[in-house]
Amino acid sequence: MIASFLVNSANGDEKKVSNSPFFGEWRSPINVETNIKSFNPFLLIKLPADSSLIGSSSQYHELGVCLFYGTGMNQNYSAARESFIIAASQGYEDSKYYLGVMYLNGLGVLKDEVFAAKYFFEAAFKGNSPSQYQYGMCLKNGIGAQKDPVKASAMFLKAAEQGHSDAQYEMGMAYRTGKGVEPDDTQAIYWLYKAAIQGNMSAKQNIEDMAKTSKEAKEALDKVNYKSPPRNLPPHQPKNRILNKSVVITDLPLSLTS
């Protein structure tokens, strides 16, 4: 299937799709690091259609990314899904993240929020920070999973500690509003600052709002505005990190689990 698609793609038989598939509060996939320069997806053209065991999982993932975005070939979500499934079956977690995005938005598949949460869940517990963030959003909003702000915050924290700016923003807002964690302005400022210096404007706006009454927030805002190295910022002390209530591997993402 993939091989035959690439042949058709090379001949220009597939229609180009250029519109961005993402919308609303669900962010575009994090730019997954690939080595496309050293991997030529057209090398797979000569493979038989059922040669799923030929080629590494990273190669099939990179091929899926090319097909997903239309990089060097025509965009085709169905073919991208096939390539991601091969990579995911070999344990490639980034491919599970993309499959989650595709099921969440109905890209090349019928939209299925439960399946999306399942893929995010599986990759999240292997340390994939985009999946940790997206599964946190599923738990926060009750999308494909039972709504649970406590477990959502635990997921956001895992991604935030890996530098995921959207997760850092969610942690800052959780501490500011007390949803899923005990309210703590110091922790809120810490995580909002982390997100703001990565360009998250919503995080900066919240720091500006807090700076009206908080000296710590004013200091953080000054450092965001002047882009100077952080000094004397409140240290990260996760004293409110969820104990005995965090997500565990046995938790299922399916909202209709009996």
Q: Which amino acid is at 222?
A: D
Same domain, 164 and 122: no
Domains contained in the chain, number: 2
Domain of 165 in residue numbering reads as 149-226
Q: Tell me the HSE value of 120 on the side-chain side, using a 13 A CA sphere.
A: 32
| Shared-domain flag, residues 178 and 70 | no
Is the pTM of the predicted complex or chain greater than 0.85? no
Residue 139 is assigned to a structural domain of this protein: no
Integer Cα distance of 6 and 203 in angstroms: 43
Residue 39 belongs to domain with CATH number: 1.25.40
Model confidence at 254: pLDDT above 60: no
**Residue 29's pLDDT band (cuts 50, 70, 90):** very low
Q: Are residues 161 and 118 in the same domain?
A: no
- For residue 250, is pLDDT > 50? no
Domain annotation covers residue 255: no
Rounded Cα distance, 209 and 67, in Å: 43
Same domain for 122 and 153, yes or no, is no
Any domain includes 244: no
Choose from 34-38, 41-45, 197-201 the range with maximum mean pLDDT. 197-201
